[in-house]
Amino acid sequence: MHDAAHGSADDVILRVEDLAVHYPIGGGLRGGGRRLLRAVDGVDLELKRGECLGLVGESGCGKSTVALSILGLQTPTRGRIVLDGQVVTGGQSLDRMALARIVQIVFQDPYASLNPRQSVRRTLEAPLRLHGMTAKSEIDGRIEAMLSHVGLRPEQAGRYPHEFSGGQRQRIGIARALILNPRIVICDEPVSALDVSIRAQIINLLLELKETLGLSYIMISHDLGVVEHMSDRVAVMYLGRIVESGDWREIFERPAHPYTQTLISAIPDPLRRAPLATTRGEPPSPLNPPDGCAFNPRCRHAEAVCRRAPAPSLDVRPDGHAVRCWRADEIAGQTVAEPSAAFNGSS
C-alpha cells in the first residue's frame, strides 16, 4: 500500500522495547555446562495505526519469536511490549482473553492450521462463544459477514477443511483471525505455502481488509517480494536483532546494511539493473554468535572494527532510516537496486 500516515507518538498502536528471549540449552539436572540461546536479543519496534510493518530475515533469525511474544504466547526474558497503550508484559500485563481481542495471527500453513474435524462454522464460532457471545442470531450474523469479507459464501460454513483449496483454506484462516475484530493482525508467512497463482489473490485480499476494517499489520516473511508490495515500513532481522529499519522505499532503493543488500539482490526480478550483492557462508548459531557485529563473518565490507564490537543503531537519514553497521554512512550512499516488479495490482 505504501500510503500509511506517519503521525505522532499517539498513532503508535504497538511498541516493543528492548525485547529479549533467551533459552537455556543443555546442562542436565544440575545446570552445569548450560548455554544460552539468544533467539531475540534486544529488539525495538513500533507499529503505527493503519500501517503494515514488514519484518524480514532468514529462517531462525527470531521473527516468529517476536510474534509469539506480542501474542502473549512467549514470556520474554526482558523488555516491554505496549499494545494500544496497555502493557502486555510483566505482572500487570493483560490476560490472554483481553489480548486476543486486540491482536491475532494468520498462520503460514492453511493445511495444518485448521482442525480437519471442525466445520468452518465451528471454527469461527468457537472464539465468539469463548468470548461470551451466546445468541445464535448474533453468531450467525458475525460468521456470515466475515465469510463475505474474505470472499467465501455463507452456505460454505457447513463444509470441512478438506473440501476447500489451499487458497480457500487460507481465507478461512484469515476469517478466524478477524472474527473477534482485532486491531492488529500478525501475518506469519501467509502465502509461502500457496501456489504462486493464488498468492497475489491472498495478498490483495489482505490489503483490502486492512483498508476496509482499519487494521494494522505485521507482515513476517523471508520473501521480500511480498514485503515490498505490502509494507509501509520494513524492519530487517539478523540473528535476533534488527539491523535495519525504515520506509519501504528507502529500504528497497537505498539499503544501508550489507545483509539487507544481500536479501534484496536475491529477489527474482529481471528488471533489476544493479549488480548482485553476495554474502559468504551460512548464518552463525545463536548459541555461538561471533564477536562484534553478528554479520561480520559473512560481510564483504567487514573491517577490524566490525569484529571488535557490535555497531550501535544509527540514523543514516532524517526520515527514521536506522542501521546497525559501522560503515553505514558510506554504504547508505550506494543505490543498490530498483524497486521490484514482482507484484502489481493486476497480478
For residue 334, how many other CB atoms are within 10 A of its CB? 12
Identify the residue whose cell numbers are 500457496: 194
Beta-bridged to residue 9, according to DSSP, are: none
Sort 290 into a burial class: Cβ within 10 Å, 0-12 / 13-18 / 19+: middle
Query: Is the distance from CB of 340 to CB of 267 less than 8 angstroms?
Result: yes
Closest CA to 40 of 241, 310, 235: 241
How high is the pLDDT of residue 122? Answer: 96
Beta-bridged to residue 220, according to DSSP, are: 55, 188
Tell me the pairing of strands 233-238 and 241-247. antiparallel
d(CA 340, CA 334): 17
Identify the residue whose cell numbers are 502493557: 87
State the pTM of this model. Answer: 0.87
Q: Crossing angle, helix 166-178 and helix 120-130, to 10 degrees?
A: 10
How high is the pLDDT of residue 101? Answer: 93
List per-residue pLDDT tens for the chain, 347 residues long: 665 544 455 799 999 999 999 998 876 656 566 788 999 999 999 999 999 999 999 888 999 999 999 999 999 999 999 998 888 887 666 788 889 999 999 999 888 999 999 999 999 999 999 999 899 999 999 999 999 999 999 999 999 999 999 999 999 999 999 999 999 999 999 998 888 889 999 999 999 999 999 999 999 988 888 898 899 999 999 999 999 999 999 899 889 999 998 888 877 664 454 544 556 667 778 888 889 899 988 888 888 889 988 888 888 777 789 999 988 877 766 544 443 333 333 33
For residue 63, how many other CB atoms are within 10 A of its CB? 25
Cell digits for 29? Answer: 539436572
Amino acid at 332: A
Query: Is the distance from CB of 12 to CB of 233 less than 8 angstroms?
Result: no
Cα 291 to Cα 24, 60, 206, 257, 303: the distances in Å are 20, 19, 41, 18, 13
